[in-house]
Structure 1
């Protein structure tokens, strides 16, 4: 049964709820398969649904949603033989963009039906998996503000970034990267597995899902004029030429923020309140099969 059973997990409110993915539409694309379709009702539900679906040994579990839905489903499938399918109907769609999975639902369904797969790396921060990127420092504050927006659009993200640029206060941080210690007071500490953040933007254009490395993009405490320069370089895709930035490839990284008890973080575009001041980040090479 496994080779002819596909399980779809649909987030009905992804991308503002404007998509029209339903069970009948899906079954029309996969007439020769046993198709099960379930809908998420709350944050974390996709993970519960995927965990339960794995008991029935599907050929593929398809996440229909944004980066958060994809992360929840993919986190269950790490180190398993079950394939992750992606129908990107969210706002950012960072992982789908890197894999060149189209936003058109019929074309994305077609990719899954063809059965071509790639084995990609997964990042891990403490007990959380990430597949696109994660960040602490201003990143956590931006996503915290963005999640409060009524409409998850690029303008809401830009506004959250603008407000956070004024409000964020840097904290002295000890990093151990590839066995080397360094102190930094980061405004931005961004750790990426893919070359896209979502919305077509990138801080790490050289990042690869299959190189067994994470790409770190660090920016120390900077003044207001430099923040504007950084914002423009992100919009223009020229972050590598921003003078204050530092880029490092690594496979393990320890982060300690001594003067904090808890840390705000974003993991694949979702806000997380980490109840610790220590984060251990590593890469799991070729640990997830994805249809592309």
Structure 2
């Protein structure tokens, strides 16, 4: 075995995106550049197992860890790689694949592994919400409620997500939030708040079209209450990359963000729902993760 080959670990989420991955190892071995990589393969078996396997890879002097799954799988693995020399790779196999899509990593095993073989690396920012890391998007309000419901759904993919949205949108009530963004205070009523590191949720739905994963800032996207009959127009803005033009969306960039709400409730980090209290503190960690793109 050549000492020049990079130690690579594929961490595969077998249930992400509702996609069968039993043949993934066979496919990957066919397309991977074995002169560049010495690869191993592990499947996750329970929640947060990806983080455990990634930590083992860091301690085992691996050079690259590849997340095979969606944004939740990427989140589990990436949080173990922050501020280390270990590089993250992504084979997008989830429902939304927001970070991978933003980084222009194509779906399809052959195409995604071609990106790994190219081994082009950039450093990206990460966000932290009350101690929970995120790399693509965190959310408060309606977005977080949907993430919680969708996490329990048996139907995955964009159809399952939109089914959940339509089942909840008529009954959801907006809330009033107090903000401090880089020292500036203000109050807003919001239907939802997205904390955007990249521009999009996934599936090319862009809530903050000018967001960058490497500018040292997070985009605080405040979606104000809107008449339900305008929901199709709001979707048009998202998929047409014009959300920043909507009168119902304010985007404020910042490094240190504090949000106070009246009651505890759901938030999400990269689509993974968690229950947090009234006070939310969000910070950005510039160029803290190395990613193949």
What's the CA shift for 1:3? 5.2
Inter-partner Cα distance in structure 2 for 1:80 and 1:225: 48
What's the CA shift for 1:185? 1.9
TM-score, structure 1 as length reference: 0.93
Q: What are the residue-to-residue correspondences of 1:129-168 with 2, within 5 Å?
A: 129-168=133-172
Question: Do residues 116 (structure 1) and 123 (structure 2) align?
Answer: no
TM-score, structure 2 as length reference: 0.93
Report the secondary structure of 1:109's partner residue: helix
8 Å Cα contact 1:2-1:57 kept in structure 2: no
Inter-partner Cα distance in structure 2 for 1:286 and 1:221: 34
What's the counterpart of residue 216 of structure 2?
212
Question: Any idea what the Cα deviations from partners look like across 1:43-84, whole Å, max 9, x if unmatched?
Answer: 211011111121111110111111110111111111111100
What's the counterpart of residue 269 of structure 1?
271
Inter-partner Cα distance in structure 1 for 2:17 and 2:107: 11
What's the counterpart of residue 98 of structure 1?
102
Over aligned residue pairs, what C-alpha RMSD do you find?
1.8
* Unpaired runs of at least 5, structure 1: none
Q: What are the residue-to-residue correspondences of 1:42-121 with 2, within 5 Å?
A: 42-121=46-125
* Unpaired runs of at least 5, structure 2: none
What's the counterpart of residue 31 of structure 1?
34
8 Å Cα contact 1:216-1:247 kept in structure 2: yes
What's the CA shift for 1:25? 3.5
| Cα 1:34/1:163, change in 2 over 3 Å | same
Inter-partner Cα distance in structure 1 for 2:198 and 2:23: 27
Inter-partner Cα distance in structure 2 for 1:167 and 1:232: 22
Inter-partner Cα distance in structure 2 for 1:156 and 1:4: 38
Inter-partner Cα distance in structure 2 for 1:86 and 1:143: 22
What's the counterpart of residue 18 of structure 1?
20
Report the secondary structure of 2:65's partner residue: strand
